[in-house]
Amino acid sequence: MTRPTARGAGLLAVAVVTYLAARIVGTWELYFLAFAFLAAVGVCWALVLATSRHLQISRTVTPGQPVAGDPLVLSFRVQNASLLPGLQVTLVDATGDLGGHERFIEVESLGSRSARVATSGPQPARRGVHRLPALTAVAEDPLGLVRTRRRLGDTLGLTVTPRLAHLASCGLHAGMGARRAGRRRRLPTVDASELRGIRPHNPGEPLNRVDWKATAKTGNLMLREMEDATDGGVAVLLNCAAQYVVGEPPETNFEVAVQVAGSIADYALRSGHPVTLLLPENDWRPIRLSPDAESRRRLLAILAAATPRGLSQLGPSLRALAAGGRPNARTQSLTLVVLSLDRGLVRALVALQEEGVPASVVHVAGGPLGAAAATAEDLSLRRALSVAGVNYLAVSPGDDLCAVLSRRSEGRRARAR
């Protein structure tokens, strides 16, 4: 909608007052001034109305597939496709919910058939699925007498994936890792998966299921595709109730928990093991991931959308959730990533361990968990897990995740003793 600005409205008021004074005094110069003021607003009105229809605005994000913490830059290209002199353009709320401080992007006056580029940032990218609204441009004439507001372009979705730690080893799953002495160390297996078919190998996929006979016949690397392999799988459960979140976004223990869960799952996939994700956003329905490049990309997309949700008391529901996420209890381990550790959860983990289900827990608290900072209750719960052989790791914001997750867990140290 095109309308006068405060300055334009003031000039119209001056034109009216000047015209009334001319009627009273009868001086023709005052009539001339009154019509000149009115004509200035009219010309600006016509200029804004005509030129704003030829405005073109495009928006780009660099990098195109950002990871949390990357320096994010938004670029806006404003073009005047009209032969008339351009307008001064202000983009309103152009950065959406990306957290930038620049809510308004101003572009200098455009000449005839010219373009200008304005940028916002760089600023650290925040993990999440962000929605940038359609661009709203407020265009004014060079004198600032008339403005119009136009909506240009479409909404833009931007997914910022979490920054995962690239683990070379994992203290929670010491039997799963890279090739050593010519063979891959694997978790215990019981049942073999059924062959579903043969397909070409995709770049980035592991080579542990190469069908050499088909490869020799076709001359191309071929893989055996299996039916939802359950041998040596890992179930990762992320439970982060909002009341246990500590810190200011994006520096919260919840963000660390997402990184921990993703790093463990990514390590399992890179090691050739299937992963089952259990997330409250998915109503705890199991999300099956196969050890291939596509599943690793899917893992990042799933974790990008994670929000602080979960059960405040996980213990009573753990058995049912674990059963839903484990197709074969004998062949799949369970790893919990939680923000709070209580006696009910410890009892549930110990019971699962006694039933033969390999269980691990990573506790991501809001502060340091050193011996001096741990309460008597914390030490008691950790001791109970260690005695039962449940793998336990404590992580705090600011820790080196590669170092902490590669560290031998307390439960494993206890079994070694």
Question: 374 lies in a domain?
Answer: yes
Question: 173 lies in a domain?
Answer: no
Residue written as tokens 């209750």? Answer: 377
25: pLDDT confidence band, cut at 50, 70 and 90? Answer: confident
Q: Is this model's pTM higher than 0.75 or not?
A: no
Residues 156 and 183 placed together within one structural domain of the fold: no
Question: 168 lies in a domain?
Answer: no
- Work out the mean pLDDT of the chain and round it to a whole number: 77
Q: Is the pLDDT of residue 329 over 50?
A: no
Q: How many domains does the chain have?
A: 3
Q: Is the pLDDT of residue 252 over 80?
A: yes
Residues 222 and 276 placed together within one structural domain of the fold: no
- Return the pLDDT at 47: 83
Residues 274 and 390 placed together within one structural domain of the fold: yes
Q: Is the pLDDT of residue 44 over 50?
A: yes
Q: Is the pLDDT of residue 310 over 60?
A: yes
Share of the chain above pLDDT 70, in %: 83
Question: 172 lies in a domain?
Answer: no
Residues 254 and 277 placed together within one structural domain of the fold: yes
Question: 170 lies in a domain?
Answer: no
Contact 310, 336 (CB under 8 A): no
- Return the pLDDT at 219: 81
Residue written as tokens 């741990």? Answer: 374
Selected residue with higher pLDDT from 367 and 203: 203
For 178-202, the pLDDT digits (tens) are 433 334 444 433 333 445 567 787 7
Residues 129 and 238 placed together within one structural domain of the fold: no
Residues 334 and 407 placed together within one structural domain of the fold: yes
Domain that holds residue 311: 179-193+228-416
- Return the pLDDT at 307: 87
- Return the pLDDT at 197: 66
Residues 219 and 262 placed together within one structural domain of the fold: no
Question: Which long-range CB contacts under 8 A does 7-16 form with residues at least 24 apart?
Answer: 7/143, 7/144, 7/145, 8/41, 8/44, 8/144, 8/145, 8/146, 11/37, 11/40, 11/41, 11/145, 12/37, 12/38, 12/41, 15/41
Q: Tell me the backbone φ, ψ of residue 100, rounded to 5 degrees.
A: -75, 155
Q: Which of 68-82, 145-159, 189-203, 371-385 has the lowest mean pLDDT?
A: 189-203
